Amino acid sequence: MARRTFDRMTMKPELAALISSALEQLVLQGTLADMPDAPLQIDHPKDPAHGDLSCNVAMVIAKRAGLSPRDLAQQVIAALPSNNLVARSDIAGPGFINFFINSERHTEVISTILSALSTFGHVDIGQGRKVQVEFVSANPTGPLHVGHGRGAAIGDSLGRLLEATGWAVQREFYYNDAGQQIQNLALSVQARAMGKCPEDADWPDDGYQGSYIEDVAKAFTSQETVQAADREITASGDITDLNAIKDFAVACLRREQDQDLRAFAVSFDEYFLESSLYDSGAVDETVSKLVQSGHTFEEENALWLRTSSFGDDKDRVMRKSEGGYTYFVPDVAYHLNKWQRGFKRVINEQGADHHSTITRVRAGLQGLDAGIPEGWPEYVLHQMVTVMRDGAEVKLSKRAGSYVTLKDLIDWVGCDATRYFLVARSPTSQLTFDIDLALARSNENPVYYIQYAHARAASIRRKASAALGDDAETAGLDHLKCLIEPEALTLAITLGRFPEVVATAAERLEPHDVANYLRQAASDFHTFYNAHHILEAQPAVMKARLALVAASQQVIANGLNLLGVSAPESM
RNA sequence: GCGGAAUUAGCUCAGCUGGAUAGAGCGUCGGUCUACGAAACCGAAGGUCGCAGGUUCGACUCCUGCAUUCCGCGCCA
């Protein structure tokens, strides 16, 4: 039912139906023994000479039919029912059937866009089902770095894509606020508060060295008050009270991370604290369930989980000989909690350096015998980011010391460019972030290239509306058959592909598809703009072109929105 | 050593889950503003898709080896 919104917006299913009935016809005639079992494959050819859509069915079934692909293709074409979609069809190459679509069918999408507006591209695949996207999930032990930025850009964009495809999305940030690293944080702040430096002999092992630790220490000793997402803490100033330092430091860094994320236009529905799993007893409960299920054993004073019976290469310690749990135990408890909250679908976006945790967490969940499917949860892993400037790698940040922060990037190149660059490449590729390119205000820079297309469209429409009033675009919908130039038709075809791009990007969990599409859409728009004057054409043509411009602006805005990048009216 | 990811034009990267002559952008070279925004457009040059086999009508895509790079491999998180 909901699928039909999608179907109406693309011509593929319509063409598939025509070909299917042609094949049925051939079966009735006895030319074919039966219908092909695989679904028909219909593609957009790269070469315009190969038509608008093409189908390979003749090559696929030729052998079984005992005919040459080209002969079979000829028969398929002859058996095609009459319709208003296909203007012409050809046989090409080894047996492709190429279809040329009636140009009115290409431009009718303009009406669809101008009535759907910001919902054009939405496709109801999820049908309101719940999905959780967990991303960023940085430890509150320091500022967010560029890797977190990549996770934030990808995760948030995934959320937007899933929303656009009909899912009820919940965005969650998991705070590891209970482990050894938090202890190190508190010790580092304490050391700073006592006037020590990382160079000193008695500086804590594995202490954090960035200058932000000094800031936290100063704030603590001067008894400042910090407002983090869900709590307010005033520092006692007592530098012997390690727990007080810990709570205060965590609050400080959470606040800083929250501010960075806000500057990055990323927000969350839920901040889930690891410590709450200890407080509620969920961790102990998880452990005893695993023990009951018989998937654990004791050895050398420690409790182990047989992760190797769930695909891990060796078994893993759950409870250390000194009594504490290893980090993946609360992770399992956390994911059980997600399952119990009713998320039949969960997507975790993380850095690829955490790859090894996947097997462990899934193994723990299987060991619970809680009816959780084997491949749950899903993971999207992104590879490392390196930052280049003036041809050299940038490694240090003033504030964090050892890594470039997300805030550094936003300060250098702005939120839009940062988000675009971090989301525009496949998560599986290592990413080189070129500061000089991101700063360029020219066609070197894809962000500005796309935004410029949007601003240009807005500018023409402002001029048109001042000269002609606001209804010229609507009137243009009655004259769409005036759009006959190849540049106009190419643009309209590209605009019409948008819902398919959104659906595919959401299904494959690959937001960079949208970035690539936008570059194509912007390019087609610029080409059309340069080839044909809009405001000086004959009235009917002018109005039709204005409608096309309005539709282009809308689609580019919708696409940029999926990436969390702004769509400026002027630049 | 084991596991994961990557390898495509000088550079940065796509390649729609197996389709036609492998594509963009940048860079290089050459054109286009007395008209709606030149932050743009048009054209040219540029390739052994890391290497070797295999699967089939058809392979950058799938399978098996090999090479190189990155990331993991703790009773750290």
Per-residue pLDDT band for A442 (boundaries 50, 70, 90) equals low
> CA A558, C1' B13: Å apart?
24
Q: What is residue A44's predicted lDDT score, i.e. its pLDDT?
A: 84
Q: What percent of chain A has pLDDT over 70?
A: 97
Q: What is residue A97's predicted lDDT score, i.e. its pLDDT?
A: 92
Residue whose CA is minimally distant from B71 C1': A353
Q: Is A554 exposed, middle or buried (0-12, 13-18, 19+ CB in 10 A)?
A: buried
> CA A431, C1' B68: Å apart?
18
Average pLDDT over residues A223-248: 90
Q: Could you name the CATH architecture of A3-101?
A: 2-Layer Sandwich (3.30)
Note the helical H segments in A469-485. Answer: 472-476
pLDDT tens, residue by residue, A5-26 = 344 456 888 898 899 999 999 9
Which nucleotide is closest to the Cα of A57 by its C1'? Answer: B19
Average pLDDT over residues A440-467: 88
> CA A46, C1' B8: Å apart?
18
> CA A93, C1' B24: Å apart?
26
Q: Which of A105-109, A323-327, A335-339 has the highest mean pLDDT?
A: A335-339
Position A225 pLDDT exceeds 90: yes
Which nucleotide is closest to the Cα of A322 by its C1'? Answer: B75
Per-residue pLDDT band for A443 (boundaries 50, 70, 90) equals low
pLDDT tens, residue by residue, A382-433 = 999 999 888 788 887 878 878 889 999 999 889 999 999 999 999 999 998 8
> CA A310, C1' B65: Å apart?
28
Q: What is residue A396's predicted lDDT score, i.e. its pLDDT?
A: 79
One DSSP character per residue, A376-409 reads PSEEEEE--EEEEETTEEE---TTTSSS-BHHHH
Domain with CATH 1.10.730.10 in chain A: 109-124+443-563
Domain with CATH 3.30.1360.70 in chain A: 3-101
φ, ψ of residue A519 to 5 degrees: the values are -65, -40
Which nucleotide is closest to the Cα of A141 by its C1'? Answer: B77
Per-residue pLDDT band for A159 (boundaries 50, 70, 90) equals very high
**What number does CATH give the domain A109-124+443-563?**
1.10.730.10
Q: What is residue A3's predicted lDDT score, i.e. its pLDDT?
A: 34
Q: List protein-proximal bases of chain B (any atom < 7 A from a CB).
A: 2-7, 12-17, 19-27, 35-42, 57, 70-77
Which nucleotide is closest to the Cα of A59 by its C1'? Answer: B57
Q: What is residue A128's predicted lDDT score, i.e. its pLDDT?
A: 96
Which nucleotide is closest to the Cα of A434 by its C1'? Answer: B12
> CA A239, C1' B35: Å apart?
73
Question: What token pair was written down for A328?
Answer: 């993946």
Per-residue pLDDT band for A436 (boundaries 50, 70, 90) equals confident
Question: What token pair was written down for A319?
Answer: 């409870």
> CA A503, C1' B17: Å apart?
14
pLDDT tens, residue by residue, A182-196 = 999 999 999 999 999
